[in-house]
Amino acid sequence: RPGQHLAPTVRTRGLQNKLTMLGSYILLLGVAAVLGSRVDREFMKDHINNYRVESQNLHVDHLEEEFEEVEEEFENLSDLPDTTTMRRLRARVRNLEDHHDLCNDHEVPCGGEIPQCVGTLLVCDGHKDCNNGRDEEDYVCALTPIHVGSTYRGLATWSDCRIGPPHYTSITIAATKTVEFFKARAYVKAVVTGEIPDDKHEISLRSYNARGYFDFARRRLVLAPEPGQHHHLGIACRFNLGDYDHADCTIREILSLHECGSLRVERT
């Protein structure tokens, strides 16, 4: 009869409609997921960019504060500053102009308005690698810190290694040598002397021979005891650019490089 096949047909059409609606729903979910991931990516990208801008602003604020301190130091000088003071101030300004955060561990900044980094082994090698030529300028490649006969002295204080009480330490440059094929380093020999106080507050001098190198790029003097010396500590001193009368030094164990103490030395 005509009505016998009506119910199955209606059920089939209903099932088809449900499947169509389910497919549309799944499609909508997929579109929403894609759009959502794009929105998330755009949100994260904007968030990262905002973070970078804020970090740069903080860095600029820090530099402005440092410059203000230098300007205030100039203003507080009652008379015309002496040569040593001028060198220190110039060194601080040059350090502020450098873009240290843009270079990796094996590079140094060229300074100036346009950031540029060059490898430490390219500094003072006889070829200008910085666009502004700074890596070969006289004040960068000067041997002033390691002139033979120069003595630096400061109070060594200890943070670890059970060395003993603070005492004065002197570093006297005994010999220097540069080689034509490796100009980025100067080889150095020195005598390190400790003024050790005893229980009666009397001072005894203890010296050892050291050798090492001066790194022009980082303005760093690194010394270790010569073979045969019964001493297990080395010294690394860093000079500010333009100020070769003062240096900040760390004292480390030779084998582990563990930091034992520090001292700030001054040319005597």
The whole-angstrom separation of Cα 98 and Cα 59 is: 13
Structural domain contains residue 161: yes
Q: What is the predicted pLDDT for the residue at 199? A: 74
* CA Rg value for the chain: 33
- DSSP 8-state code for residue 226: P
Structural domain contains residue 83: no
- Minimal CA–CA distance to 261: which of 188, 187, 168? 168
Structural domain contains residue 236: yes
What's the domain range around 38?
1-76
Structural domain contains residue 232: yes
Q: What is the predicted pLDDT for the residue at 6? A: 45
Q: What is the predicted pLDDT for the residue at 11? A: 47
Q: What is the sign of the dihedral through the CA atoms of 81, 142, 213 and 185?
A: positive
Q: What is the predicted pLDDT for the residue at 134? A: 87
pTM of the model: 0.62
Q: What is the predicted pLDDT for the residue at 78? A: 55
Tokens of 145: 């810190």
Structural domain contains residue 89: no
Residues 125 and 164 in one domain: no
Residues 180 and 207 in one domain: yes
Q: What is the predicted pLDDT for the residue at 138? A: 85
Residues 263 and 147 in one domain: yes
- In total, the chain counts a number of residues equal to 268
- What CATH number should be reported for the domain holding residue 203? 2.40.128.620
The whole-angstrom separation of Cα 193 and Cα 172 is: 8
Please tell me the total count of domains within the chain. Answer: 3
Rounded to a whole number of angstroms, the distance between the first and last alpha carbons of the chain is 122
Residues 212 and 250 in one domain: yes
**DSSP assignments along 42-91, one per residue:** HHHHHHHHHHHHHHHHHHHHHHHHHHHHHHHHHHH-SS---HHHHHHHHH
Q: What is the predicted pLDDT for the residue at 36? A: 56
pLDDT tens string for the chain (268 positions)? 444 444 444 445 555 555 566 555 566 556 555 555 555 556 555 655 565 556 555 655 666 676 677 667 666 665 656 666 665 666 555 555 555 567 888 888 887 777 888 998 999 988 899 998 888 988 788 888 889 999 999 999 988 887 778 889 999 999 999 888 888 899 999 999 988 887 777 888 889 999 999 999 888 999 999 988 778 889 999 988 777 889 999 999 988 889 999 999 999 8
Structural domain contains residue 85: no
Q: What is the predicted pLDDT for the residue at 1? A: 46
Residues 148 and 131 in one domain: no
